[in-house]
């Protein structure tokens, strides 16, 4: 064959090629090998193969070559074979695969090696491995990798590393960031949060994002639980400053649950579960805090899970109840309105208090169907009373989620139309925090509700923002003074003056005043003297089943002021 044609053909081979004699001397190369290694042909031809091999193989090369030539066979490339390395001109390792065969050249047996550069596959492997072990948004390790690292840490004798801790961190009400500003904003804030948490940790601590707004931390080499506590407080403290999103400053807080090894367990799965249980306890205790695991919490969590299952069943089977607490006009003594209050008596659990199952519903997402059930049932009851010739107003508490739901107005209109009731008979009670968190948005929603005839009230006044300027701009009809103010009425003259001031203030805004929690005749007389419009409380009646309220409504006059 023409030498020039032979060279063209060899250089056209996409893999690198080496022709070696029986002593390992390089007789020929091609362009592909030169591109892989950075050597020119004249740098390699005449050199021993050792020039391309790691130093650890120099002594083994003659034996390996002799062994192959003693029983030559065609050797194919295979991705399943252990990766081999050669060195480039700069002594940098290159992962390769090799195919071998033998040929005769001038009656001498020679070895021809085809060399494939696997660097791109190695890089691809790194990328795939990184994606499999890291969170794509924040770059933190993911749940799978965290579990692997935790198991590895637990293998190390704890006597050498003292103790370790697992911290589960969950952002409080982070959904509102996504709802109000969009998921793009949420993602940008999550990246900032990850950076702050990472900066608050020691170099060897592990921070993972489990998904959504949940993070997990592995602390090793701890001196004591106090050491873990200080780091946890530092983590939560790092989130106190507002986060920037464009022109907006967003405030985000977090709760944390902590478990310890070997104090609580030496099992990775249990450590993570205990941290999760502690996190739930932190949220139950009011959020923005950290809680260390204790065995009693497992019992509490079991109770919560059972409550959740039974509450879900109660919703599905329609076994919840509404009771109605009368609201009495202080001038006439007539029952003019009732507040719908949810009651739940379970076949297995007995009577469950609202202050236990309402927070549970809020934290598990059951509050939305629960709120819908209350609205539906209250409107149905209004229709039943209307059929009896009774037209009271029903006050229904709206959760923040219900209030901000885009279909709230349509839903209420549909309920009023279906039950043939006047929207003015439905009073929607909002807490100050719901109304004042975003006053402009709240005002827009309230205006739409008022345009359709629905009545609006601020509940528990004095326990939240209590901003006069905001209160003045909202189209509300009534303001309810929180029971805590009423309970202190006869503690001091200062407490009485405070309630006087609140009533005067609300009247100056041309809104009615409702007092909650009236339990004594002295409280009632004081409120009557101050011109309070109406009241509710155990002094007149606790929350009653619908049939008992019907009798009161028919009697009309509920109480004469003495």
User: For the whole model, what pTM was predicted?
Assistant: 0.57
Q: Structural domains in the chain?
A: 3-122 (3.30.450.20), 134-293 (3.30.70.270), 319-555 (3.20.20.450)
Digit-by-digit pLDDT tens for the chain (562 residues) are 566 777 888 888 889 999 999 888 999 999 999 999 999 999 999 999 889 998 888 877 778 888 888 887 777 776 555 568 899 999 999 988 888 888 888 888 899 999 998 888 777 777 878 888 899 899 999 999 999 999 999 987 655 557 999 999 999 888 888 888 888 889 999 999 999 999 999 999 999 999 889 999 999 999 888 999 999 999 999 999 999 888 888 889 999 999 999 999 999 999 999 999 999 889 888 888 999 998 888 777 788 889 999 999 999 999 999 999 999 999 988 899 999 999 999 999 999 999 889 888 887 889 889 999 999 999 999 999 999 999 999 999 998 888 888 889 999 999 999 999 999 999 999 887 776 667 788 889 999 999 999 999 998 776 655 566 677 788 999 999 888 888 888 877 888 888 898 898 889 889 999 999 999 999 999 999 999 999 999 999 999 999 999 988 887 644 444 4
The residue among 438, 426, 349 whose CA lies nearest residue 393 is 426
* CB distance 280 to 362 below 8 Å: no
Q: For 185-238, what is each residue's pLDDT tens digit?
A: 899 999 999 999 999 999 999 999 998 899 999 999 998 889 999 999 999 999
**What does the DSSP 8-state code read for residue 25?**
B
Which residues is 478 bridged to in the sheet? 457, 512
- Separation of alpha carbons 515 and 486, rounded Å: 7
What residues contact residue 544 under an 8 Å CB cut-off, 6+ apart? 323, 324, 325, 326, 552
Tokens 């940790």 belong to which residue?
201
Q: For 501-534, what is each residue's pLDDT tens digit?
A: 889 888 988 999 999 999 999 999 999 999 999 9
* CB distance 327 to 395 below 8 Å: yes
């Amino acid at each position: 064959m023409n030498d020039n044609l032979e060279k063209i053909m060899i250089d056209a081979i996409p893999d690198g090629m080496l022709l070696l004699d029986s002593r390992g001397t390089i007789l020929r190369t091609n362009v592909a090998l030169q591109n892989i290694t950075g050597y020119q042909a004249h740098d390699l031809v005449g050199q021993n193969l050792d020039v391309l091999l790691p130093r650890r193989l120099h002594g083994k090369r003659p034996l390996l070559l002799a062994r192959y030539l003693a029983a030559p066979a065609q050797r194919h490339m295979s991705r399943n074979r252990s990766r081999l390395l050669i060195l480039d001109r700069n002594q940098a390792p290159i992962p390769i695969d090799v195919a071998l065969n033998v040929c005769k050249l001038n009656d001498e047996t020679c070895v021809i090696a085809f060399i494939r550069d696997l660097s791109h596959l190695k890089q691809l492997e790194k990328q795939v491995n990184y994606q499999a072990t890291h969170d794509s948004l924040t770059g933190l390790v993911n749940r799978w990798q965290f579990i692997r690292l935790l198991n590895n840490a637990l293998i190390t004798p704890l006597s050498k590393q003292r103790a370790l801790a697992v911290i589960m961190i969950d952002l409080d009400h982070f959904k509102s960031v996504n709802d109000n500003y969009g998921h793009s904003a949420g993602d940008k804030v999550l990246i900032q949060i990850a950076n702050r948490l990472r900066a608050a940790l020691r170099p060897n601590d592990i921070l993972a994002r489990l998904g959504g707004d949940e993070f997990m931390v592995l602390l090793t080499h701890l001196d004591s639980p106090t050491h873990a506590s200080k780091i946890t407080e530092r983590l939560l403290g790092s989130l106190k400053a507002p986060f920037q999103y464009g022109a907006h400053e967003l405030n985000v807080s977090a709760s944390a649950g902590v478990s310890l090894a070997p104090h609580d367990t030496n099992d990775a799965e249990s450590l993570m579960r205990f941290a999760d249980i502690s996190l739930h306890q932190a949220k139950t205790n009011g959020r923005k805090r950290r809680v260390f695991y204790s065995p009693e919490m497992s019992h509490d969590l079991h109770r919560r899970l059972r409550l959740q299952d039974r509450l879900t069943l109660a919703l599905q089977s329609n076994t919840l109840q509404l009771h109605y607490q009368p609201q009495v006009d202080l001038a006439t003594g007539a029952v003019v309105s009732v507040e719908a209050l949810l009651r739940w008596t379970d076949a297995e659990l007995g009577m469950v208090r609202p202050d236990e199952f309402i927070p549970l519903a809020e934290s598990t997402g059951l509050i939305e169907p629960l709120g819908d059930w209350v609205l539906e049932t209250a409107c149905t009851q209004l229709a039943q009373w209307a059929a009896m010739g009774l037209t009271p107003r029903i006050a229904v508490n709206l959760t923040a989620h219900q209030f901000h739901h885009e279909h709230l107005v349509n839903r209420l209109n549909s309920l009023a139309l279906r039950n043939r009731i006047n929207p003015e008979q439905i009073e929607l009670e909002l807490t100050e925090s719901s109304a004042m968190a975003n006053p402009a948005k709240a005002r827009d929603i309230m205006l739409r509700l008022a345009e359709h005839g629905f009545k609006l009230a601020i509940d528990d006044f004095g326990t939240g923002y209590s901003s006069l300027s905001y209160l003045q701009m909202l189209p509300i009809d009534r303001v309810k003074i929180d029971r805590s103010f009423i309970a202190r009425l006869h503690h001091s003259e200062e407490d009485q003056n405070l309630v006087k001031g609140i009533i005067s203030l609300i009247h100056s805004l041309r809104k009615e005043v409702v007092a909650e929690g009236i339990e004594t005749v002295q409280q009632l007389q004081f409120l009557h003297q101050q011109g309070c419009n109406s009241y509710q409380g155990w002094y007149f009646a606790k929350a009653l089943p619908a049939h008992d309220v019907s009798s009161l409504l028919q009697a009309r006059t509920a109480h004469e002021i003495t």
